[in-house]
Amino acid sequence: MIVIEKSGETMLAIDSAWQRWLHENTGRGCTVESMVDAMVASGFDRHTATAAVDRLRGSGHDIASDSARTEPDDRYVYEAEAPIGTNANTIRAGDREIEVIARIGRPEVLVVGGVLTDEECEAMIALSRDKLRPSTIVDPDSGGEGFNPERRSEGVFFQRGENELVARIEQRMSALMSCPVEHGEGLQVLHYGHEGEYRPHFDYFPLHYKGTARHLEHGGQRVATLVVYLNDVESGGETIFPEVGLSVVARRGNAVYFRYMNALGQLDRKTLHGGAPVLAGEKWIMTKWVRERPYI
């Protein structure tokens, strides 16, 4: 436990988990501003967050050296015609017409509405409720699963095509993301209770981690993510992109899509994202990750 002091005042303690998060994200090349914004979104006051980052920078930690070891960098090439980055205000996704709510180009993020019906959202929650288990993260060294206080949620995975509902949703997602069904990992449903959160992270597998090779054997690198909101969140629970100051509010049936790998195999670190703490109520989401090759 580390206590930050500024101007003679003792402020909120920065625990070991947050210290580890700061070191890891500094090593990934995240900017000072994005780390401070992410901490503020998770409940820290801005002075405390700034002091924590300043303390790290003044500790002798070699930020430039760490950044040089990471594969993603600011030279990421944004393609002129991304798979679903058209200017249309609606997208035909199989059996549904999807409304485009907002888009940004760098990073490639699309917020869409009406991906699932109210009935489909309720059905996926009902299918998941009794199967939930504490969420894990990928261990960077072994590639296996581990628990980490950076992620406070519970979830369940569904096999591809596990039932009629899952298969129908996967076909729709495939059409929306312009990606074959076979490239998708199984759907994951996640539940966040009060104060549940997932601190900012990347969905792709960082190439400088020893455990990454284990995951790349099963379809290559992750290319893009689609997060579907299964309920309205009373307060908090936004999907945040601290590198670009974007915050997406959870609304039932809506989704946020983001793509972080281009045709050159580059990875876009501007897609750093997280789930802000749920301040009131609960949050249910469903996530689909897609790979560069068929996922096996």
CA distance 15 to 203: 24
User: What's the mean per-residue pLDDT of the chain?
Assistant: 83
Which residue type occupies 191? H
In which band, very low, low, confident or very high, does the pLDDT at 39 lie, cut at 50, 70 and 90?
Answer: confident
Residue 127 CB contacts under 8 Å (≥ 6 apart), including other chains: 158, 163, 165, 189
Q: Which residue has the higher pLDDT, 22 or 201?
A: 201
Separation CA 28–CA 22 (nearest Å): 10
Residue with tokens 């020893």, as numbered in its chain: 210
pLDDT range class, residue 136, cuts 50, 70, 90: confident
| Confidence category of residue 53, pLDDT binned at 50, 70, 90 | confident
Instruction: Give the lowest-confidence range in 63-77, 97-111, 146-160, 175-189.
Output: 63-77
What is the rounded distance in angstroms from the CA atom of residue 218 to the CA atom of residue 215?
6
Least confident of 36-45, 151-160, 222-231: 36-45
User: Residue 124's pLDDT band (boundaries 50, 70, 90)?
Assistant: very high
Q: How far apart are CA 41 and CA 18, in angstroms?
A: 13
Cβ pair 264, 201 in contact under 8 A: no
Residue 181 in this model has a pLDDT that exceeds 50: yes
Please work out, in degrees rounded to the nearest 5, the angle formed at the alpha carbon of residue 16 by the alpha carbons of 194 and 70: 100
Mean of the pLDDT values across residues 8-16?
A: 49
Q: Please indicate whether residue 52 or residue 140 has the higher confidence score (pLDDT).
A: 52
Structure token pair of residue 69: 């070891």
How far is residue 128's CA from residue 179's CA, in Å, rounded to a whole number? 25
- List of residues 6+ apart from 264 with CB closer than 8 A: 77
Q: Is the pLDDT of residue 166 over 50?
A: yes
Q: Which residue in the block uniquely carries the two structure tokens 């969420």?
A: 135
Is the pLDDT reported for residue 11 higher than 90?
no
pLDDT at res. 9: 39
Outline where DSSP puts E strands in the chain: 2-6, 9-14, 90-93, 96-104, 108-113, 133-134, 137-138, 145-146, 154-157, 188-192, 198-201, 222-229, 235-236, 239-241, 246-248, 255-259, 273-275, 278-280, 283-291
Helices (H), ranges, the chain = 16-27, 32-41, 46-57, 63-68, 118-128, 164-177, 212-216
State the pLDDT at residue 3.
Answer: 40
Tokens of 119: 């009935």
The SS3 of residue 151 is strand
pLDDT higher than 60, residue 125: yes
Token duo for residue 1: 């436990």
Average pLDDT over residues 265-270: 94
Task: Find, among 153, 147, 270, the residue nearest to 202 by Cα.
Answer: 270
Residue 54 clears pLDDT 50, i.e. is over it: yes
- Above 50 in pLDDT, residue 59? no
- Cα(first)–Cα(last) distance of the chain, in Å? 42
Report d(CA 154, CA 169) in Å as an integer. 21
d(CA 236, CA 215) in angstroms, rounded, equals 32
Is pLDDT of 292 > 80?
Answer: yes
Q: What is the DSSP letter of 118?
A: H
pLDDT band at 150 (very low <50, low <70, confident <90, very high): low
Task: With beta carbons less than 8 A apart as the criterion, state whether 280 and 235 touch.
Answer: yes
Q: Is the pLDDT of residue 165 over 50?
A: yes
